[in-house]
Structure 1
């Protein structure tokens, strides 16, 4: 298996990755390709890919605002027929170690759908197995969808003396998403 991390647009790599992204998140939850290209060009995002024999097994988009110590896990997906075999956890472990090696990041944030359905419980459990913790019970709903989200955090270094608040973290994520959609 080969882990690839790139800060630049690679049309061939995206072509191999796009289906996993679209299947996992659906038409309404994905960013358009031109936005992803722009995010990479502006230094807001990084594309991570796990490949085997020229086939993408997993993909992730991470992001960060300029000069930030927070890495956002914007998307992470595993090829549908490969789920349930530990690939997602192994892939995330790679991303976590990559983030640690960057030295600027103190924590990783992820927002999770939290409406009371089995799929959301399974996602939250997955992130907990990866070392994330729900911050509190604050829930956020974006204007483009009915789903509610909560923030989860994984500390790469020591825990801050002042506890993080879910509302603040979700507002940071919303700012990142807003910045992501700005075109040059």
Structure 2
């Protein structure tokens, strides 16, 4: 596997057309943000789109959000093309995001939110993130607009990173990001 990675901070219709099938396949029935909201996120300079190309085709994508108050990036979505799952593409994308984040100089940690219900799928997802160096917080957050509860996970990218490990505090950052994403 030889992936080429790229990061974009501007909306591009053609690029999104290449990414959308992977995004839809992974998230269409699991809380995907509508395209107009993602466009709004780019318009407001709240996010980055990261892609990994395998022989010129998008194999993996991630959408990250800026959590400026926490000097962190939120991995809002990360998905691998269906037929390529289980082959390490997601891990390679995460490694790229970690390296890119460190080189950007603006962020020193990564945060994600995972579903808190203890289903086999959710437990597998949490185990994946733990293997990648993320720490699960204890606090369980219940959004008003989605039925499932969530927990925050974080990864400090530098030993001297000043980041709260309190999930409730992390969700204040995450919640503000989502609120800004949906506001005009």
* TM-score in terms of structure 2 length: 0.92
CA distance in 2, matches of 1:36, 1:29: 13
Residue 27 of structure 1: how far off its partner (Å): 3.9
Residue 164 of structure 1: how far off its partner (Å): 1.9
Q: Is the 8 A contact 1:48 1:60 kept in 2?
A: yes
Q: SS at the partner of 1:72?
A: strand
Going from structure 1 to structure 2, the CA distance change for 1:101 and 1:161 (only over 3 Å counts) comes to closer
* TM-score in terms of structure 1 length: 0.92
Q: Is the 8 A contact 2:76 2:112 kept in 1?
A: yes
Instruction: Find 2:33's aligned residue among 31, 34, 44.
Output: 31
Q: Is the 8 A contact 1:113 1:120 kept in 2?
A: yes
Name the Cα RMSD after superposition: 1.7
CA distance in 2, matches of 1:65, 1:78: 24
Counterparts in 2 of 1:25-64, with a 5 A limit?
Answer: 25-27=27-29, 29-64=31-66
Instruction: Find 1:71's aligned residue among 57, 73, 77.
Output: 73
Q: SS at the partner of 2:144?
A: coil
Q: Is the 8 A contact 2:91 2:132 kept in 1?
A: yes
Residue 97 of structure 2: aligned partner: 95
Q: Deviation per CA, 1:19-74, whole angstroms, max 9, x where unpaired? A: 11111112451111111112112110000011123321111000114565111111
Structure 2: give runs of 5+ residues left out of the alignment: none
Count of residues in correspondence between the two structures: 182
